[in-house]
Amino acid sequence: MDRHTLEQFRARTRRVSLPEEVRESVLDKIRIEKGERARGPLRPHREQHGITRRTFVRVGAVAAGSLAAFLGGSALMSSLGGEKSNWFALTAYAEGIDETDGTHLALGRLFNGTLGWSGGPESELLMVNTVLDLTCTGDNVKTITYSLEGENVLTEQGLRMESGLASTQGIWIYWPEGSVESYTVSYDEQPGKDSSAVGYRVYANAPLDDEARKLLVEMQELNSTIHEGGEPSEEQLRRHAELSNRGTVCALEVLAAELEKATLVMTAGFADGSTQTKRYAFSPREGYAQIFADYLNEMASADSESGEALRKDPPSLFYLTEFC
């Protein structure tokens, strides 16, 4: 069974009222058929409710019958027309680790592990930016239209800058061609579908807390000392790298907080003229800031070869939940 068929079955099981253990049992069998290792949950399961053997057999039969009908129908359509049905998903979601209904732990490729950030001790807001892999995967897809929804999503009027510093709290995606509202791209011309392409740049602004402000004061003082003293010492360089990494973790926390309040909307246009819309909610995994801090520290102490390997394999930090 290919990934497309598996995703279709997942979508159907979300609409069928079955005990969680029955559904997971069916999906585990599918994963085994695909040769995948059945993965345990990274989040605690919901409390399990007892069921009788009769209920289990009855519901299990329904699930098995639904699966058989679904697979049989898919096989029949394939044999008659030789064409796959319309389907699409955010790649980072489709290739992520299945957690619970509709939620996957996105692979590290969603967030490439690098963050730009700006602000100073006198700033009201910290401005963060990074590139997210928002590519789409699917069958018969011609175009994808993107937008971002949420009360914290900024419009053109919210992008005014004062003295080069962020002036409004919120989040936006600077789509190619300069739009911050929506963007439509051909499926075959998506940014990020090859390693040389540029993904979608996301900006987030949030108020500086006391910890971040103290950090920026120390960085400013250290920069002044280094500038006045000429050649920096090894200790100064070590301290500067340490402070930079701490600042990058603070920047990630800003990104995560604003991203969690927004929803990514994707509408696929198919070759037959039909459309489908899906929404994706972001949420950071437990301990994400420490996971990222450890990653940065490992990068700092790695040799060039190991550092390059780490750069290409950033940690998985975000959950994605799909809403159709």
Question: Tokens standing for 10?
Answer: 């997942």
Q: What is the mean pLDDT of residues 137-151?
A: 96
Binning pLDDT at 50, 70 and 90, where does residue 31 land? very low
Q: What is the mean pLDDT of residues 44-53?
A: 37
- pLDDT by residue (tens digit) across 262-319? 999 999 999 999 999 999 999 999 999 999 999 999 998 899 899 899 988 899 999 9
Q: At what angle do helices 3-14 and 20-34 cross, to 10 degrees?
A: 170
Q: What is the mean pLDDT of residues 75-85?
A: 57
* Neighbouring C-beta atoms of residue 222, cutoff 10 Å: 15
pLDDT for the residue 10: 52
pLDDT for the residue 160: 52
Q: Higher confidence at residue 53 or residue 276? A: 276
- What is the bridge-based pairing of β-strands 116-118 and 125-132? antiparallel
The model carries a pTM of 0.72
Tell how far CA 6 is from the center of its chain. 20
Mean pLDDT for the chain overall: 76
Cβ(16)–Cβ(66) below 8 Å: yes
* Residue corresponding to tokens 């796959």: 84
Handedness of CA 173, 178, 182, 184 (dihedral sign): negative
